Homo-oligomer: A and B are copies of this chain.
Amino acid sequence: MSLEIMPVHGIGHVSEGDDLAAMIASAAPWLRDGDILVVTSKIVSKSEGRLVDVPADGPERLAARAEVLAAETARVVAARGATRIVQTHHGFVMAAAGIDASNVDKTRLVLLPVDPDASARALRAALRRRHGLDVAVIISDTMGRPWRNGLTDVALGVAGLNAVHDHRGEVDPYGNELELTQMAVVDELAAAGELVKGKCDQVPVAVVRGYPTTARADDGPGARALVRESSLDLFSLGTAEARAVGLADAAGLPDGTCPTPPDPAAIDRAIAAVRPAVAPGTVFTHVTDTTARDRLAGAVPGWPAAAASALILAAPPTPVDPFGLVRFGADVHRLRAALAAEGLPSALLPPPPGTPATAVLAL
């Protein structure tokens, strides 16, 4: 199997209401059944009228752009300086929600198509019905990515092709069954298309010829299948944003207990981490012995039945004035945050009678 990747020249300017299928069929009379069209999302957006008027420059332009960005944003994923990485309403994670000011008048911004899979299906259907062509369609756009410099083109919408080629279950020549190998072939096809398209020379469509593997008669599930749900994503937030969530979580720490008996090594790590920050001489005692714990539980009001162990903290054995107790309380919360960093919930409880300047954390 060899592939050909061919540019479609001569499409020219695209305006709202233009018939993209006719423009492409006319510019590429050499199209054949089985070809895959890789169509830059911008001309789809333009033909669908996904444009907004903005001032050409000045603070008014920045304000208008910020408003447009907010409207296109489902949630902010990361921000630094003027950069905003956001998740769009489609679920794509992109800088500035894919809003683009290139290849358009200075007074307009181009938004992503409302539903790129639907756009791909509509273009495919129009080419079939009105031009007798049975092709697959990919709507592509340019995205950055974490960890690697430079941008690549990926698929926003697909019709007539599976987004993913699933190799799981195939057996290699050494007898190993493949795991985890689902190739995002439409992203690779979009990338291949980009190689013959230009950024400034008006080649908004590429044709991939000879790629049969995942062609399908129906439109298929679309590029939506490539959107990973953010709850399943290990990188659903920027590092700075996630760190701020951790600080906010430390501020709000609820009382809780560990679902399983806590790992003593994790408790030791938390104590070691916090020791440089707390008042010198603060004493940490980890109670794991069942008898000692039960005696403690009996003496401490509000002891949670589910707690498997406890930490007793004692303020430094110097004369403790009222503000010393306030500082000690802050140190107790420092330890609770360090425990939470180890994944360990805790509950703050008063000490048993007769042990002032002491606090109990049930775990």
Contact = CB atoms under 8 A, between A and B. Distances in A.
Q: Tell me how many chains of this kind the complex includes.
A: 2
A175 B104 CA distance: 9
A340 B247 contact: yes
Contact of A248 (B145, B176, B273, B327): B273
A52 to B, nearest CB: 16
Contacts of A348: 327, 330
A215 interface: no
A337 B247 contact: yes
A235 B238 contact: yes
Contacts of A273: 248, 251-252
A114 interface: no
Given A192-B195, A348-B330, A93 B341 contact: no
Contact of A142 (B183, B191, B247): B183
A184 B337 CA distance: 42
A242 B245 CA distance: 9
Contact of A330 (B194, B200, B333): B333
Nearest to A252: B277
Majority secondary structure of chain A interface residues (helix, strand, loop or mixed): mixed
A78 interface: yes
A163 B270 CA distance: 44
Interface centre among A338, A341, A342 (most CB of B within 10 A): A341
Interface in A183-204: 183-185, 187-189, 191-192, 194-196, 199-200, 202
Contact of A251 (B154, B195, B323, B341): B341
Interface residues of A, number: 118
A95 to B, nearest CB: 8
A167 interface: yes
A305 interface: no
Contact of A188 (B13, B92, B195): B195
Interface stretch (A59-67, A117-125, A291-299, A350-358): A350-358
B182 A149 contact: yes
A186 B247 CA distance: 40
Contact of A247 (B92, B103, B250): B250
A260 interface: no
A106 B192 contact: no
Contact of A239 (B178, B237, B249): B237
Contacts of A106: 174-176
Interface stretch (A17-25, A126-134, A222-230, A281-289): A222-230
23 contacts: A93-B147, A95-B180, A101-B176, A103-B174, A147-B227, A149-B226, A172-B200, A181-B199, A195-B211, A239-B242, A243-B249, A247-B247, A247-B250, A247-B338, A250-B334, A251-B273, A251-B334, A252-B277, A322-B356, A322-B357, A325-B326, A329-B331, A330-B336
